[in-house]
């Protein structure tokens, strides 16, 4: 029996919010998951450096059949059409710092560096990273660092570092101090330049530094049983392509599945993740109906392709909660309509305990 998997990062709520009778309307979710089996709980994150990135760990295990730190940068580079490289590759994300709730948090700026701003900073950034054994690479509107040696370091994925302060738990490995020195040097370069004065005059947020993450080398992965993958992060396409999927069967999330033979399908619906990370539950509740509509629509299309099992995977900071809905068809399905179906236990499915 083929399955349609829907990974929904951030489809979780604090247990105390659910226990206190929050005013969120869960009826669309209850209808979607009517007849679901018991909630399956899987603890995926055991290392603090991956806190907040359980969805990446799940994808890395399911698509790549690999454990440990998800390898993103090299696969993103390749999936976006970058030339083949044998070096270890790191993505270099722009960082905006903000004081929030008595903490100095990191997040992406609302407007990233323009091409002209990258040109202005390029030579100094290049000279700096070369002192640490890296080369600065650019593809499209992104910067990457490459190195022939492997940096002995695990770095918290940028998506999971956002809206959190930098701490020692953001890093793991012998090169942690080198990371701190490098990123401090990059902050100093930006601070001494005229970049942020010009951005301020233009009404833009400051760029306060950079965050390297996703250190990896491109390599083939074990063949996957998936037939099509939709996700908004291109490194997910890279994983799927290196696991045997043709590139036109790996796409951004859209309103129909890519053309593919019968088999398992996977969609990552990530519209809740940002509000989940910011604990902005009002925005989260506003977005929930559209997320459920997207899943229902794609699930119906998947069922038409004989993917008769709906698998909903809700990820939190460290674990996943999964429910499976078996969709019947034919004569059995006709009589099944008159049988009372089990209701989803919303509390068990969505609840997340504070860590």
pLDDT of 48 reads: 97
22-26, 109-113, 121-125, 235-239: segment of lowest average pLDDT: 22-26
217 vs 355 pLDDT, higher one: 217
Q: What is the CA radius of gyration of the chain?
A: 22
How high is the mean pLDDT of the chain?
A: 95
pLDDT at 339 over 70: no
| Residue in the block written with tokens 């696991």 | 243
Measured distance CA(156)–CA(20) in Å, rounded: 33
pLDDT band for 331, please (50, 70, 90 cuts). Answer: very low
Q: pTM for the complete prediction?
A: 0.95
Two tokens, residue 259: 């053309």
Per DSSP (E only), the strands in 87-208 are 88-100, 103-107, 135-139, 142-147, 154-155, 164-165, 171-172
Measured distance CA(260)–CA(246) in Å, rounded: 9
Q: For residue range 161-200, list pLDDT tens digits in order.
A: 999 999 999 999 999 999 999 999 999 999 999 999 999 9
The domain spans of the chain are 3-66+221-352, 88-216
| Residue in the block written with tokens 């002209």 | 116
43: which strand partners?
319
pLDDT of 20 reads: 85
Q: How far is CA 289 from each of CA 16, 111, 134, 264, rounded to the nearest angstrom?
A: 22, 28, 45, 25
Sequence length of the chain is 355
Residue 4 parent element (H or E): strand 3-9
3-class state of residue 213 by DSSP: strand
Degrees, nearest 5: CA angle 176-179-184: 130
CB 156 within 8 A of CB 171: yes
Q: How far is CA 278 from each of CA 22, 108, 124, 168, 257, rounded to the nearest angstrom?
A: 18, 13, 34, 21, 30
Degrees, nearest 5: CA angle 220-225-228: 90
Measured distance CA(61)–CA(74) in Å, rounded: 17
Q: For residue range 31-50, list pLDDT tens digits in order.
A: 999 999 999 999 999 999 99
pLDDT band for 19, please (50, 70, 90 cuts). Answer: confident
Two tokens, residue 189: 């370069």
Q: For residue range 249-283, list pLDDT tens digits in order.
A: 999 999 999 999 999 999 999 999 999 999 999 99
């Amino acid at each position: 029996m083929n399955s349609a998997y829907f990974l929904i990062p951030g489809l979780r709520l604090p247990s105390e919010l659910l226990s206190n009778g929050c005013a969120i309307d869960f009826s669309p979710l209850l209808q979607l998951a009517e007849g679901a089996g018991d909630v399956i709980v899987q603890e995926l994150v055991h290392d603090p450096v991956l806190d907040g990135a359980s969805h990446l760990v799940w994808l890395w295990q399911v698509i790549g059949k690999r454990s440990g730190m998800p390898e993103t940068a090299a696969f993103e580079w390749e999936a976006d059409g970058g030339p083949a490289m044998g070096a270890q590759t790191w993505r270099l994300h722009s960082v905006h710092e903000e004081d929030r709730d008595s903490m100095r948090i990191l997040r992406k700026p609302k407007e990233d560096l323009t091409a002209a701003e990258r040109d202005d900073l390029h030579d100094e950034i290049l000279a700096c990273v070369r002192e640490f054994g890296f080369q600065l690479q650019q593809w499209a509107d992104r910067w990457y660092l490459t190195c022939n040696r492997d940096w002995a370091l695990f770095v918290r994925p940028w998506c999971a570092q956002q809206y959190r302060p930098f701490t020692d738990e953001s890093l793991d490995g012998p090169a942690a101090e080198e990371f701190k020195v490098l990123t401090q040097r990059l902050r100093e370069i930006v601070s001494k330049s005229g970049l942020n004065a010009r951005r301020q005059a233009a009404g833009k947020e400051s760029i306060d530094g950079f965050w390297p993450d996703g250190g990896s080398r491109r390599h083939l992965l074990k063949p996957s049983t998936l037939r099509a993958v939709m996700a908004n992060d291109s490194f997910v396409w890279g994983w799927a392509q290196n696991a045997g999927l043709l590139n036109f069967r790996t796409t951004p999330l859209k309103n129909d599945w890519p053309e593919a033979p019968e088999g398992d399908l996977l969609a990552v619906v990530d519209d809740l993740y940002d509000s989940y990370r910011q604990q902005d539950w009002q925005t989260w509740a506003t977005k929930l109906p559209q997320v459920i509509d997207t899943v229902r629509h794609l699930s119906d299309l998947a069922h038409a392709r004989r993917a008769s099992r709906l698998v909903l995977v809700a990820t939190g900071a460290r674990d996943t909660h999964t429910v499976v809905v078996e969709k019947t068809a034919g004569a059995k399905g006709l009589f099944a309509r008159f049988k009372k179906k089990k209701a989803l236990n919303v509390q068990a499915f969505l609840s997340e305990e504070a860590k």
